[in-house]
Amino acid sequence: MANALSTFLKRLRELRKLHSLTQEQFSEIAGISYKYYQALEAGRKREVRLSTLERVAKVYGLEVYQLLSPELPKSRLRKRRSAAL
């Protein structure tokens, strides 16, 4: 399980940096709390809800399973919606 968690944490950082986003920018786009995302990426949140994984994957145009894949998947950043986020 620890291996899957470390893969997921690494993938979070890789994707965020690939798209030149700060943690704050990403959390805003994903519709999750900045503090929560910060703790998630730092590995302080070891239990992650499926709904959170779905939100993270959706931002990058990915499926949840791709967040844990051995290779960095091709992703495309979801366009920001207006202030409705």
pLDDT for 2: 63
State mean pLDDT over 54-82: 77
State mean pLDDT over 15-26: 94
pLDDT for 4: 78
Return d(Cα 54, Cα 43) in angstroms, integer.
18
Q: What is the pTM of this model?
A: 0.76
Return d(Cα 19, Cα 15) in angstroms, integer.
6
The CATH code that applies to domain 2-68 is 1.10.260.40
Query: Which is more confidently placed, 9 or 27?
Result: 27
CB atoms within 10 A of CB 7: 14
